[in-house]
Every structure is written in C-alpha cells, then in structure tokens.
Structure 1
Amino acid sequence: MSRETLDWLNKNTLIGFTEKRGTAWHYHRGMQGTESNHYRGAIPVQDVQRRLFDWEAVPGEVFVTSPLTGRPERDLERVAFSRSDTGRVLGYFGPGYQPHPYGEWLLNKVANLLDDDLAVGSAGLLKGGAVAWVSVEVPETITTPEGVAFRPHLLATTSFDGSLATTYKPVVTNVVCDNTMNAALNESGRTVRVKHSRKSELKLAAARDALGMVHRVADSFTQEVTRLCRTDVSERQWQRFLDAHVELPAKPGRGRTLAARKREALTSLWTDDARVAPWRGTAFGVVQAVNTHAHHGQTVRGATRPERNALRAVTGDFDTLDRSTLATLAGVLERTELVRAA
C-alpha cells in the first residue's frame, strides 16, 4: 500500500469504540497529525462534520473541446460538482440530478433519529471525497453462544460521483476478522434508498424503521448464526461446495491455475485459520470462509484492498456474496430451507 493511501485513511476516516474493537488496521501514529482519528467511545456528530464534511460540493460549468473548431464549448446538458476546499471534480451530471450534501443526508437526518442507545461508530470519505459513509452503532459488542462476536449497525451512504443512491441499511461487522456481513445472512433486510432526483425525499418513517433494525439485527443475526452452526457440512460436502463455487477448468492454463489457488486459499481458511476454523464443519463456517477470503485474500485490481472493501460494503456487494454462498451450499446439501425469501 502506498504512503498516500495510508495517509488518506488516517486523515479521512474516523473510527469509534476502539475500546471495544481495538485500533483499525490502517492506524499509523506518525500520520495522525495533531488529532487522532480514533475514539475510545462514540464519535461526536460535530467531529464528523468538522473533520470530514466541512466543505461543499459546488456546481460548475462543463466545457468540451469541439472536434470541428478545436475550441472549448460549454456543455449545456451537464454540470460538474467539485469540492470547495480542494477543487477536485467529483462527478458530472445531467439537469435532473439532485445533490445530497453529506452533512445533511448522513448527519442531520440521521442525528434527528438517534436515541440514547445508538451513536456514530465510524465515518469516512472514499474516492477523494466522491463517496461517504456514516455508521451508527450500539456501544457493546455482542457474542453469540457459538463464539461469533459482532457489532450491528446502520450504514448510511451516499455519493457525488453517481455511483450510489443515498442508502440506509442494517449491516453487521464480524469482529474477529473485521468483515462486513449481511445482517440476516440470507435476507436483504430493511434498506431505504433515495435517488438523486428532483423528487428526492427521505421518508422519516421508513428511515426510522431502518434505524430501529439496528436493535433487531442483534437477535436476527444471532438466530441465523445458531441455525447455520447447527447445519453440518462434512469434508466431502465441503469439496462439493468448492467444485460448485470455484469450478476447476479441465484444460490447463491461467484459468485453472487461478481457480486452484483460490480453492487452496479457501481450504486453508477452512482448516487452519482462526477466523474460520472454529466453525469448520458447519454452514456458517462455509459462509465465513468465502466472506473472509473476499475481504482479505481475493486479488484486488484498480484500487487498494481497504478502499475496495469499504466500497463493496456500502454498495451491498458483500450482502450479495453471502446470499450467493448460501444458495450454492443449499444446492450441495439439498437443503432448500437454507435460503429464505428476501
């Protein structure tokens, strides 16, 4: 990882409740500046505004070089949004685009819904400020009878590059491996999305319901973990799952080599890794192996691993992965009840 990326993470993300979860992997004391980005308890809302969102996305005119004259001409159909502090262009949009300022949509609207049991646990900027998130969490880490420690939270995200609608959804962080997991493992859960259109409106009742899911997620996730830990997966069934999840091409070549490496990495997690092996022989162990490999072992191109993981968390890719893993395993075990309707 480049020093530039590490410097960005230390200055453009805030990590709360470190007394419960420990320091983030990117923590570098020499890059903290005059103020640490780690908080032993909850992160004050005003600190998120001051340290991350204290700038505006300013609209500006777009000019395109004409192929006929070679001179710049104004594009009347598009507008560019740039950061008021750095001048960095965040995205280009048509006339129907409605911006969702981070301070308003990720802080003010969420802060108005917070109660005494919920507080900001993390927040950050990605892609130079084009994507942002705020996580609202319960203070205490929860541990299931099977030894799975997790933190339920509401993830609020939006963007200024057109990649994301403003989204509020319940998710779970698996503490032992710092993985984002689907809150109900095989269900989509309660998600609220607001498009960047002129009719943008956050329905407070829906948002309040999503926020309330943070409390209900604890029971839901605990029940799912128990259910999956009680579903046995033999070594033969594990091999059959690998055959279905990572098909090994018959013809030698790069494809076969890459597939073999992925199968070996998954098996190593399954048999020897403390993040997965304690649940070896169960359906939860299968989900944990695939999820952990996606977070920490899968090849990353075009981005750093932490940025890729953060983006996949906010876009819901890890939710899709968990549901897909269970669907594949259900087919192997011939247990259709493993997958419930979303």
Structure 2
Amino acid sequence: MSRESLTWLNQNTLIGFSAKRGTAWHYRASHQGDEPNHYPGPIPVADVKRRLFGWEPIEGTLETSYLTGDGVTRLTDPTRKTIIRPDTGHILGVFKQGFQIHEYKRWLVQHIETILDDELAIGSAGLLKGGAVAWVQVELPDTCTTPEGVAFRPFLSAATSLDGSLSSTYQTGAQLIVCDNTLSAALASNNAKRVKIKHSRNSLGRVVDVRDALGIIHQAADAFAAEVRQLCQVEISDAHWRSFLDQHVPLPAEHGRSRTMAQTKRHALMHLWDRDKRVSPWRGTAFGVLQAVNTFTHHGQIVRGAVRAERNMHRMITGDIDDLDLATVQTLEKVLDRSILTKAA
C-alpha cells in the first residue's frame, strides 16, 4: 500500500472507542501538529462535521467542446447536471436533472443525532472515493460478549453517495473485536434490517422511514448473539469442512492459473480453520465456517482497484457483507442437507 493511501485513510476516516476495540490496522501515530483520527471514546458530532463534512456539494452544468474545421464548438446539455466537490474541484458525478443530492450533514449527521444518547454514540465515520461516498456508524459504548466467547460491537451504519453508486442506506451489523471483521446481524431474520432511499425528487419526504430505521440498533445485539448461539451449536466434522471447501472453492481439474488460485484460497481457509486465533477457537462449528470465510474476505482476498480498508468499508455500507455471510450459510446448509438457523418472526 502506498503512503498516499495510508495518508488518505488517516485523514478521511475517524475511529472511535479505540480504548475498547484497539486501533484500525491502517492507524499511524500522529506527527507533531497533526490531529489524530482515533478517539479513545465516542467521536464528537462537531468533529465529524468539521473534519469530514466541512464542505457542501454544489451542482454544475454539463458542457463539452470539440474541434471542427470552423473552430471550437461548445455544447451544453440542459437535461443533465454535475455534482462538484468545491474544496477540491472534483466532479463526483454526472446525472439527469431529477437526481436529488443527499447532503452528508443532513442525511448522515442530523438524522443520526436524533438517536444519540448515553447508550448510543458515533463509533466511526469517513469519506471514500474522494468524498463521493460517506458513512457514519453509531455504536453501543460497551462491547458485548456471548457465552461462546465472541466479543462484538453492534452498530447501525448510515451511508450515502454523491456519485450515484449508493442510495442513502441505514442498516445494522456487528463488528468482531478479535479480527476487526464486520458480520451480518440479519441472517436469522426474515427481512434484512436495512432501509434504502433513492436520490429521487420524492426522497426528501421519506424522513419518517429514516427515523424508523434508526430505532433498530437496539435489536442488533440480541439478533447477532442469537445467530452466534445457533451457529455454535451446529457441529462441523472434518468431512463436512472438506465438503464445504469443495463447494465454496471448487478445484479445477486442469492445471493452470485458476487451479493455483483456488489452491491458494483453500490453503488460506484451512490455515484460518486450524491455526488462526480469529477462527480456530470456533473450529468444528458452523460459526467457525462463517468466521473463516468472512475473515479471509476481509483480510486475505486479493483486492484490485481499491485500498483494502476502503473495499471492506464499502462492502459493509452497501450490504454486501450480508450477502457474503448468507451465501456461506446457504452453502453449509447444502453440505449438511438441513437448515441451521431458525428464522425469526
């Protein structure tokens, strides 16, 4: 990873409760005169506004020019507009006129402020893709630990974008302390705890949906603990584990790059299963399988076109982490030929 990437992560992400969960892997001690981006306790709302969202996106026109035999011709498209970050001059997106900006201060801070109290505080916040995507994460101040020894922090994340890549999204999850992974807290629910609001002209009238979504964080801790309990009760034999690997990472018959990549991934998963403290304490259980796949995806899988921390955060705020964990459970259920999670009502 380049020094520029590390600098970006440390200047554009704020990490709270470091006294309880440790520092992020990309953390660098601040130099004299630098403002640290890690907070021992909660992140003050004022710091999120000042350090991350101290600018407002603006709309611009879409113009282009081209050279002809008669000179330079300039055209303007009145049906489209650009979204610009004024402090850097970067164009973050090009849209039809109906695109509605969801300002970060309003959609990620003001809405979040309505639920902050002694039990809920901001645990992380940041910008991705040059400011085109942003998130604010709300957490309970204390780490939860299940009887199975899984220490986690339930959270609710609020995220949106200025490049059209993400609707304004509010959802719950759980962050594991032992590995700094994000796991789904919706596997045992009939419906994922997620609300998405598109950037349409009618989106500003859906604030009531946002308020309903913000109330679900108190359910996340119990939901995730119930998932862990059920998954830890499902025994996975060595034969089951090998069968799972065969389905999760099929080994091509022909020798070549694809077979080599599959072998490398299988070896990494087996190492996690057998000897890595992030997974091996739950070896022989369905939770161990889930943890192995999730940990590999977060920390071992090859990342192209992005910084790993950015890719992990983007996976969390888009809900891809729910899809990853659900796919793992579904594959394991095929191996066992039975359901392993009791669906909540």
Give the TM-score range, shorter chain.
over 0.9
- Tell me the amino acid that sits aligned with residue 313 of structure 1: M
Moved more, 224-233 or 25-34: 25-34
Q: Return the alpha-carbon distance in structure 2 between the equivalents of residues 291 and 68 of structure 1.
A: 55
Cross-structure match for 1:24: 24
Change in 2 beyond 3 A, CA 1:283/1:161: same
Change (3 A) 1:202 1:257: farther
Aligned to 2:87: 85
Pair 1:47 & 2:47 matched: yes
Distance 1:203 1:31 in 2: 44
> 1:208 deviation in Å?
3.3
Structure 1 residues 63 and 185, CA gap change in structure 2 (3 angstroms): same
User: Aligned residue for 2:325?
Assistant: 322
Q: Give the direction of change, closer, same or farther, for the CA distance of 1:337–1:281 in structure 2 (3 Å limit).
A: closer
Tell me if structure 1 keeps the 8 A contact 2:186–2:192. Answer: yes
Residues 202 and 194 (structure 1), Cα distance of their counterparts in 2 relative to 1, 3 Å cut: farther
- Using the size of structure 1 for normalisation, the TM-score is 0.95
* SS class of match (1:8): helix
SS of the residue aligned with 2:334? Answer: helix
Q: CA deviation at 1:203?
A: 3.9
1: CA distance between counterparts of 2:54 and 2:160? 16
Deviation at 1:338, TM superposition (A): 3.2
**8 Å CA contact retained: 2:186, 2:193:** no
Provide the rounded CA distance (Å) in 2 between the counterparts of 1:336 and 1:185: 12
Residue 310 of structure 2 is aligned to residue 307 of structure 1 = yes
What corresponds to 1:104 in structure 2? 106
2:278 corresponds to 1:275: yes
- State the AA in 1 paired with 2:40: R
Alignment of 1:58-97 (within 5 A): 58-66=58-66, 71-97=73-99
Q: 1:207 to 1:116 in 2, by over 3 A?
A: farther
Q: After TM superposition, give the deviation of residue 62 of structure 1 in Å.
A: 1.4
Q: Conserved in 1, the CA contact under 8 Å of 2:30 and 2:36?
A: no
What code does the residue aligned with 1:183 have? A
Helix, strand or coil at the partner of 2:172: strand
One-letter code of the match for 1:8? W
Q: Is the CA contact 1:13–1:124 (under 8 Å) kept in the aligned structure 2?
A: yes
Q: In 2, distance between residues paired with 1:198 and 1:14? A: 31
Q: CA deviation at 1:19?
A: 1.1
Segments of structure 1 that go 5 or more residues without pairing to the other structure are none
Which residue identity does 1:104 align to in structure 2?
A: R
CA–CA distance in 2 between the matches of 1:185 and 1:32?
46
Match of 2:240 in 1: 237
Tell me, yes or no, if the aligned pair for 2:185 and 2:220 is still in contact at 8 Å. Answer: yes
Q: Which residue of 1 aligns with 2:133?
A: 131
SS of the residue corresponding to residue 82 of structure 2 reads: strand
SS at match of 1:215: helix
Please give the alpha-carbon distance, in whole angstroms, between the structure 2 residues aligned to 1:340 and 1:137.
25
| RMSD of aligned residue pairs (Cα, Å) | 1.8
CA displacement at 1:66 relative to structure 2:
4.4
Offset at residue 32 of structure 1 (A): 7.9
Which amino acid letter does the alignment assign opposite residue 179 of structure 1? Answer: N
Residues in 2 aligned to 1:63 and 1:111: alpha-carbon distance in whole angstroms:
39
Q: 1:339 to 1:252 in 2, by over 3 A?
A: farther
1:220 matched to 2:207? The reply is no
Unpaired segments ≥5 residues, structure 2: none
In structure 2, how many angstroms separate the alpha carbons of the residues matched to 1:33 and 1:154?
Answer: 33
Cα 1:113–1:272, aligned 2, differ >3 Å: closer, same or farther? same
In the TM superposition, residue 312 of structure 1 has moved relative to its aligned partner by 0.9
1:297 aligns with 2:300: yes
- One-letter amino acid of the counterpart of residue 165, structure 1: S
For the 8 Å contact 1:327–1:338, the answer to whether it is kept is no
Provide closer, same or farther for how the CA distance between residues 106 and 32 of structure 1 changes in structure 2, counting only shifts above 3 A: farther
Aligned residues: 342
Q: CA deviation at 1:68?
A: 6.2
Q: CA contact under 8 A between 1:186 and 1:322: conserved in structure 2?
A: no
The Cα of 1:209 is off from its aligned counterpart by 3.3
Q: TM-score, normalised by structure 2?
A: 0.95
Secondary structure in structure 2 of the residue aligned to 1:64? strand
Given that residues 45 and 107 in structure 1 are in contact (C-alpha distance below 8 angstroms), is that contact kept between their aligned partners in structure 2? Answer: yes
CA contact (8 A) 2:188 2:223 kept: no
Q: How far apart are the structure 2 equivalents of 1:223 and 1:208?
A: 25
In 1, distance between residues paired with 2:227 and 2:68? 62
C-alpha contact (below 8 Å) 1:11/1:32 kept by paired residues: no
Sort the Cα spacing of 1:9 and 1:55 in 2 relative to 1 into closer, same or farther, 3 A.
same
Q: Which residue in 2 is equivalent to 1:149?
A: 151
Alignment identity in percent?
Answer: 56
The separation in 2 between residues aligned to 1:301 and 1:98, in whole angstroms, is 31
Change in CA separation of 1:202 and 1:105 when aligned onto 2, cut-off 3 Å: farther
SS at match of 2:203: coil
Distance 1:103 1:24 in 2: 24
With 238-247 and 27-36 compared, the bigger mean Cα shift is at: 27-36
